[in-house]
Structure 1
Amino acid sequence: MKIALLGYGKMGQVIERIALERGHEIVLKKDENNTFDGLSNADVAIDFSVPTAAVSNISSCFHANVPVISGTTGWLEHYDEMAALCTAKNGGFISSSNFSLGVNIFFELNEYLAKIMSKFDSYSVDMEEIHHTQKLDAPSGTAISLAKGVIENSSYTNWTLEKPEAKQIHIEAKRIGTVPGTHTVTYNSVVDAIEIKHTAHNREGFALGAVIAAEWIVGKQGIFTMKDVLEF
């Protein structure tokens, strides 16, 4: 499989190593100073760039008939626009806040727990996410996905970084050292607390999941999620 890497920072470099170990070829490594030369030779593109580059990267892939795996966060106000372009171009697209296999299992657990807890008004939910100091967006895309998972399965209506109002989920976003990513969902009552937590030890899990998603999407048309890839 021939892969175009759109974004060649720390994540892009780990993705490159894992892709090569799995027998794939890298035909383009693009950062903000490069062109898209070589994109047309790719079977699939993996985008781990920055929010300001994501839309250009993704749209260029669809125009070149190259399916896209996008792990960039902070650009999702343009998601509907990119999804419409994917459909118009008969493209393939997976955008996820987190491609880690463990995190996607955590997403499923979070939704299941939210359904159970929605029956118990004595508990309130809040979230905490911790990442390295170089992470640009806050809260993390993963934390937002977790909040949406609760909202879709409960009476909560929104999330906030500020002091929460009624039916809002408070997210505490922390930036500490070189932490790859830790996410905690806590249900509190006056008598006890229920907590689920995912801790990433390194970037390997994110990168492996993205490569697995890229392997899966080649030859497919449509807009998919990691639920499709992992057959949840």
Structure 2
Amino acid sequence: MRILILGAGKTGRLVAEVASERSHTVRVLASSENANASALTPAFLKDFDVAIDFTTPTAVVANMRACLPNGIRMVIGTTGWYGQLPELRALAAQHKTALLYGTNYSIGMQMMLKLAKEMTTTLKDAGYAFTISETHHVSKLDAPSGTALTLRDAVLATLDLKDASPNNEIVITANRTGDVEGIHSLIATGTCDRLILTHESKSRRPFAEGAVRAAEWLTTHTGVYDFHEVFTEL
């Protein structure tokens, strides 16, 4: 498979390493080479089967607008752009290609989301209040993290609440420190005890491996997918 990696940061470079280990042909395109998706011309894109994006919330939308009309399947690891998901979903459908997005490509984190739903289901009628804490490295641009928002939405859905309006608020505490890869906790506080469900990433490798496996899966699919809906199929 011919993979284009968009973004040459720590995660992008690791994605390229994992893809090479899995015998794929890889080209890494740094943001400095691709201002406003200027490098993503039809002539350039014809050499690739799928693109994996780990750039920034501002760059990723331009990248999708360039790749999807050229039939390039895309795996998006960048967060902070979901307000424009309807537009990009329509673009992928219009050009009969595929788009897979996710806030976290770690299989362990996907299991935490499942456990969070079970925890919330069990405790929601027992007087527990739910909060979320997340910690990431200082260079992470969005706060709270996309993963924390996904965790919040999973809890809200389990509580039968449609959104995080003031009356249904689940407080998210976002911390930025050092080079922390990612720690997410769901805290359930009762009158006499407290339960904490935590996922801690020790490195970026689980994200990279999940993204490459997602790209492999996507080459035989058309449509728009959230990673948590398909991770068990990889």
1:84 and 2:85 matched: no
Of residues 59, 63, 69, the one that matches 2:75 is 69
CA–CA separation in structure 2 for the residues paired with 1:200 and 1:27: 26
**Residue 101 of structure 1 corresponds to which residue in structure 2?**
107
**Residue 213 of structure 1 corresponds to which residue in structure 2?**
214
1:180 and 2:181 matched: yes
**Residue 195 of structure 2 corresponds to which residue in structure 1?**
194
CA–CA separation in structure 1 for the residues paired with 2:179 and 2:68: 34
CA–CA separation in structure 2 for the residues paired with 1:40 and 1:178: 37
Structure with greater proportional helix content:
2
1:42 and 2:48 matched: yes
**Residue 150 of structure 1 corresponds to which residue in structure 2?**
155
Q: Is the 8 A contact 1:91 1:221 kept in 2?
A: yes
2:46 counterpart SS class? helix
Write the mapping of 1:120-159 to structure 2, written as runs, cut at 5 A. Answer: 120=126, 122-159=127-164
| Aligned residue type for 1:173 | A
Cα deviation per residue 1:142-200 (whole Å; 9 max; x = unaligned)?
A: 0000000011110445448xxxx432100000001000000000100110011100000
**Residue 205 of structure 2 corresponds to which residue in structure 1?**
204
| Aligned residue type for 2:211 | A
2:33 counterpart SS class? coil
1:115 is displaced (CA, Å) by 2.1
| TM-score for the superposition, normalised by structure 2 | 0.92
**Residue 223 of structure 1 corresponds to which residue in structure 2?**
224
CA–CA separation in structure 2 for the residues paired with 1:88 and 1:155: 33
1:72 counterpart SS class? coil
| Aligned residue type for 1:192 | D
| TM-score for the superposition, normalised by structure 1 | 0.93
1:50 is displaced (CA, Å) by 0.3
| Aligned residue type for 1:76 | Y
Moved over 4 A (4+): none
CA–CA separation in structure 2 for the residues paired with 1:49 and 1:105: 25
CA–CA separation in structure 2 for the residues paired with 1:207 and 1:75: 20
| Aligned residue type for 1:218 | T
1:6 and 2:2 matched: no
Q: Is the 8 A contact 1:32 1:53 kept in 2?
A: no
Cα deviation per residue 1:87-125 (whole Å; 9 max; x = unaligned)?
A: 1111111110011111111111112222222322x1000
Among the aligned pairs, what percent are the same residue? Answer: 33
Q: Is the 8 A contact 1:216 1:229 kept in 2?
A: no
| Aligned residue type for 1:8 | A
CA–CA separation in structure 2 for the residues paired with 1:231 and 1:24: 20
Query: Which ranges of structure 1 fall in alignment gaps of 5 or more residues?
Result: none
| Aligned residue type for 2:222 | Q
